Amino acid sequence: MRILVADDEPFIGDLLAMILKSEGHEVKVVLNGTAALAAFEGNEFDLVITDLSMPEIDGLALAREIKARKPTQKIALLTGSAEESMTQPNVDYILGKPVQVDKLSQLLATLEAQLV
């Protein structure tokens, strides 16, 4: 799968990229919402993973803007401040921070099954 990761903490973005690439995914990492929108323009991603709290454009605003451009785009929100069971408009999945590899793998398996 092609995955876009937006997180203003370089360590988190790099860690996610390492995990995702080790599972065979193609990953683009950006450090903010503005860069995520630029990367999204003209590219196809199977999943966008975005941090909730980022400067400039936060994860919820990014999700809203991406869904306005492509309503079917799957979006996962990374958050350390809320329950994974919460729901947010324009967000398909919630991932807690720190990211648990087993939960990330489960999300990817679910998404891959939907893409078949």
Give the per-residue pLDDT at 84: 53
Helix axes 59-69, 33-40, angle to 10 degrees: 20
Percent of all residues in the chain with a pLDDT value above 90, rounded to a whole number:
75
Beta-bridge partner residues of 30? 6
Is 45 part of any domain?
yes
Domain count, the chain: 1
pLDDT tens-digit readout, 72-92: 999 999 988 766 556 778 999
Segments forming the whole domain that contains residue 48: 2-108
CATH of the domain at 54: 3.40.50.2300
Pick 29 or 55 by higher pLDDT. 29
Amino acid identity of 47?
A: L
Is 80 part of any domain?
yes
Give the per-residue pLDDT at 85: 55
Is 116 part of any domain?
no
Averaged pLDDT for residues 32-58 = 94
22 touches 46 (CB < 8 A): no
Per the structure block, which two tokens stand in for 30?
């950006």
**pLDDT band at residue 115 under the 50/70/90 scheme:** confident
Average pLDDT, the chain: 91
**pLDDT band at residue 97 under the 50/70/90 scheme:** confident
